[in-house]
Structures are given as structure tokens and as C-alpha cells.
Amino acid sequence: MRDDFDYEDDLDYSFDDEEEDDDFGMTFEEDLYLMIREKLRDTIQEYKAQYPAIRKLESAVSSFKINAKNTDDSKFYPLAAKLLSEHIKPLTEESEEVLEIYENMQTDIARFKNQRAHGFEGEYYLSE
């Protein structure tokens, strides 16, 4: 029976180096903030041709800047996410789609306080 198990063929010890490099040295807060930005970017790319309000969202997200020197990751990234959501909140009055994106984003922002909370994935807030 032992001869039936070939370690080289039956166990896959390959690692995805690219994925590991992405997370190397990254805090939970930074990873979460980057995930929020990625969801926004992917959603905007997917729907901006269909909804003019999402083109406005694209402009708002691309113009968002934050400057918080001497702030550690545990405070900077939650602050950046909160300020980003406040930056796009006025657009929620113009569009149901942007409102849905904003509300779904709030679910992810809540994860800064509760790391075990499940993030939101949906039609107007894409995860890939």
C-alpha cells in the first residue's frame, strides 16, 4: 500500500508566489482598504457605460486624496475608508446604483471594527 502513494505526484507543494507577495507585510487594515478600493474600481469599470452616475462616482473616487502623516495603519486605513465613503455619499442622492454601492461599502467598512464580519459582495459592488 505504501508504494501506491508517490509524494511527488500526489502532493502539490506548489505555492502561488504572486499571491504571497501581495500579502507580505500588509496589515489587515491595509488589505481591507485596498479590497474596498478594488471593489469600487471593478464595479466602476463594469457599469460606468450603463449608468452616468457611476461615471460621476469614478470621478469622485479618482479625485479622492488623503494626507494623514505619522498615522499607523490601524488608524490610517479605517480613516481613509470613512473619508472615502463620506466623499462619495453626496452621489447617493442621484442614483440608486450609487446608493447600493455606498451601502455595501459600509458593510465592508464595518469590518475594520469587527475583523470576523463577513464583507459584502453583490451586483453593484464587485469582488473580482
Band of residue 118 on the pLDDT scale cut at 50, 70, 90 = low
Residue range 53-74: average pLDDT?
Answer: 89
Band of residue 5 on the pLDDT scale cut at 50, 70, 90 = very low
The answer to the question of residue 55 being in a domain is yes
Burial (CB < 10 A; 0-12, 13-18, 19+), residue 58, is middle
Rounded CA separation 45/126 (Å): 10
The answer to the question of residue 54 being in a domain is yes
Band of residue 111 on the pLDDT scale cut at 50, 70, 90 = confident
The answer to the question of residue 95 being in a domain is yes
Domain interval for residue 85: 28-128
The answer to the question of residue 9 being in a domain is no
Write down the residue that cell numbers 502532493 correspond to: 11
The answer to the question of residue 13 being in a domain is no
The answer to the question of residue 67 being in a domain is yes
The answer to the question of residue 7 being in a domain is no
The answer to the question of residue 102 being in a domain is yes
What's the number of domains the chain is made of?
1
Q: Long-range CB contacts (< 8 A, 24+ apart) of 69-75?
A: 73/27, 73/29, 73/30, 74/27, 74/29
Q: Is the pLDDT of residue 40 over 90?
A: yes
**pLDDT digits 0-9 by tens, 25-35:** 789 899 999 99
